[in-house]
Each structure stands twice: as structure tokens, then as C-alpha cells.
Amino acid sequence: MHWKKMGLVYGPDGSLPWAQSHAMLPTPVRLSPDRVRVFVTCCDSRGVGRPGYVDISAQDPLKILQVSQMPLLDVGRPGTFDENGVAACSVIRLDDGRMLMYYAGFELGTQIRYRLLTGLAISTDGGDSFVRYSEAPILERTTDELYFRCGPFCIQEEGLFRLWYIAGSAWAEIEGKKMPIYDVRYAESEDGIHWPSKGDVQMEITNPDEHGFGRPHVSKKTDGTYQMFYSIRRKSLKAYRPGYAISSDGRHWQRLDNQLNLDVSPTGFDSEAIMYAVPFEMGGETYLFYNGNNFGASGFAVARLETS
């Protein structure tokens, strides 16, 4: 693979109180033949995230058609698992027209820095607004996945909901700073709401320079195999880099990180990190939406797959 970077698509201009910076975790969903909605999470002046959207042209990923003026979902009330932030990670459309948003809720800790658990919100108006399914997480902490059950990415296949997500029960001190330790796991559900208390490990931390993975994105290729784009937390770089893996069944993965061929730029918004990459086909081309430095502080960008 070879990707040609096309630059930033969107970054907050500071005019919206809830969107002062960032456009994290770009998640594209096609609304019509001409319009693609990219769900993103923006931050207010305190760094608290809330999801919104950026509609772009299905013929030109750099052409913005509309930007949400209000967040699609506010933070939870005090004491809930998402009281300090809501980060949309996956949005799927059901046959009845509803949309399910799987999101990571941020809860600050005292003995540990934070916890991240997964919540669910539902839209009945085509993705213009969402309502919580519950104030409690649908992936609650368990003995096996104590601090992190987050970064969810869900697809629906033949009536079955398949979820790849991030989970872990440990923190480690890395150069004087406490950092989370987690891997990629997998679970299945019949309704997309009720999930097992423990997922199957899909990708373990085996490289001594790695200590975690970011939101996975899984899609099925035309030959029936699966591909996963994910992010890799590296100790030496103190930042994310993109990763890539393939699978015949979506459960057993072969890492091919070196084949992705997408790295940081010499300067600019993605000179220190690249993360949360998502491929999307439109207009006969394959694009990759992604974030750069500081978890997408400048916004989200796009690259195009070069075929020759």
C-alpha cells in the first residue's frame, strides 16, 4: 500500500464552546450517494470531549457540506462513567433505520488516572441526535477487564453483532508517568447491547516497545477476508503509530504493520503521531481518515490510496 496525504479535512475554529479543539476518532458513515457523515469527538476548553459530525462530499473528501453546531450527546451526570467525556468510536445503521453509537466514556480516578468503559447511544433521526441507551456502560468493568473496556468498533453480520475493542487491567510507569496497558479483544452479541464479561484476546502486547493499542477498525474485503486498522502506543516514541492486520475470519490476525506505509510527516499536524485510521471507499477511490499529533488536536485528515 502507498498513501498520498491530502491534508486536514476539518478542525474546530473555536467558534463553538463545546468544540474548541480536536476532531478525534473520525468515523465515516454514508448518508446518501452524495454525502458522507464523519462522526468525530471535539473538546471544550477543559479538554472534555463530546461527539459531533462533519458532512463531506462523497466525491471530494476535502469538501465540507455541513458541521454540527451542537454535540450529538452531552457528558453524563456527575458520578456516571462518562461524566468527563464521551468519545464516539463506532456508528452502525440498523435495517430499521436506527443508528447505534458505541462510545468510550471517561471517568477520572484518584489512585489511577482514569477509567474508560463503553456506552451506547441510539439515533432515530438519521444521526442528527442521539439518546443514551443507559446511564450505565454496556461494557462494565469486570474482574478480567478491570480498568478499560473501550475503543469499541462494531459491525453487524448475518444478524450477529461483532465487536472488537480495547481492554486491560493494568497501569505501568513509563519514564516516570503512569500509562495504561491494554490489548485488542473480541466479543459477540445477538442484540448489540448485552455482551459477555470477557472478550477473546485478538492482539497481545508482545513487542517490549509497545504498551497498548488504539481503537480498532475492522472491515471485510472483496475477497471475503478481514482487515484491521489500529493504533500502536510505543514507549520509545511516546506516541501512536498506525498498524494493520489481516484475518480470514475476523478472530485470528496476522500483523502486517510494515505494509501500511503511512508514517509521520517531517513537520506539521502529523509530525509526531498518526492514529485512529479508518479506510473508506467513495468516488471509486479508497481513502484513509486519521488523526495526527496530540490525539487529533488540529482536526482529522485524509490520505488517498495510490494504485500505481
Tens digit of pLDDT for each residue in 139-176? 999 999 999 999 999 999 988 999 999 999 999 888 88
Report residue 21 as a C-alpha cell.
Answer: 479543539
DSSP type of residue 61: T
Residues in the chain: 308
Report residue 145 as a C-alpha cell.
Answer: 477487564
CA-closest candidate to residue 22, choices 299, 235, 308: 299
Q: What is the pLDDT of residues 64-81, one digit of tens each?
A: 999 999 999 999 999 999
| pLDDT for 308 | 65
The CATH number of the domain covering residues in 3-305: 2.115.10.20
Cα 271 to the chain's mean position, in Å? 20
Q: What one-letter code names the amino acid at 107?
A: E
Give dist(CA 54, CA 210) in Å, integer: 32
Give the phi and the psi of residue 296 in degrees, each rounded to 5. 85, 35
pLDDT of the chain along its 308 residues, tens only? 899 999 999 999 999 999 999 999 999 999 999 999 999 999 999 999 999 999 999 999 999 999 999 999 999 999 999 999 999 999 999 999 999 999 999 999 998 999 999 999 999 999 999 999 999 999 999 999 999 999 999 999 988 999 999 999 999 888 888 888 899 999 999 999 999 999 999 988 888 888 889 999 999 998 999 999 999 988 888 789 999 999 999 999 999 999 999 999 999 999 999 999 999 999 889 999 999 999 999 999 999 999 86
- In the three-class reduction of DSSP (H, G, I as helix; E, B as strand; rest coil), residue 259 is classed as helix
| pLDDT for 210 | 87
Instruction: Enumerate the H helices of 155-292 as residue ranges.
Output: none
| pLDDT for 158 | 87
Cα 80 to the chain's mean position, in Å? 21
List CB contacts of 223: < 8 A, sequence separation 6 or more: none
Give dist(CA 232, CA 214) in Å, integer: 6
Q: Where are the domains of the chain?
A: 3-305
CB atoms within 10 A of CB 34: 12
What pTM, to 2 d.p., does this model score?
0.96
CB 30 within 8 A of CB 287: no
